[in-house]
Amino acid sequence: MNNFPQRLTAEQVQSIAYSHGLEPKLQPGGEMALHPYVYSFADALTTHYLEHGLPTKAQLQGIAVTSGFKIKPQEDGSQDINGYVYGFGWGLLEAIEQFPLELSV
């Protein structure tokens, strides 16, 4: 095993998603699964990280929205993606790097 950043498998993405509060939803084919945009987000975030390094909060939000997550009203009156999406993104990045990262805002 090397220490270089890696792409994650679908199973790893699922595990990280579930641990950050994402839940399977009924899909058009009748099965329960994560929405496809969850995997699109994981892929886009990985690509960003491998090409540009750690994203800022704004960049992570942009990647999430472009992938299909929705901007929603927050309790403080602001508009943002849900907080669990940031946690999911950070969990993905930690798994790619295979060690905990420090968040800088």
pLDDT of residue 102: 54
β-pairing, 32-33 vs 25-26, is: antiparallel
Tens of pLDDT, residue by residue over 61-98, are 999 999 999 999 999 999 999 999 999 999 999 998 87
Which has more confidence, 5 or 70?
A: 70
Q: What is the pTM of this model?
A: 0.86
Are 51 and 90 in contact, with CB atoms under 8 Å apart? no
Count CB neighbours of 85 within 10 A.
Answer: 24
Are 90 and 96 in contact, with CB atoms under 8 Å apart? no
What are the DSSP calls for 34-75, one per residue?
--HHHHHHHHHHHHHHHHH-SPPHHHHHHHHHHHTPPPEE-T
- Kindly report the backbone phi and psi dihedral angles of residue 83, in degrees, each rounded to the nearest multiple of 5, phi listed first: -60, -35
Tens of pLDDT, residue by residue over 38-52, are 999 999 999 999 899
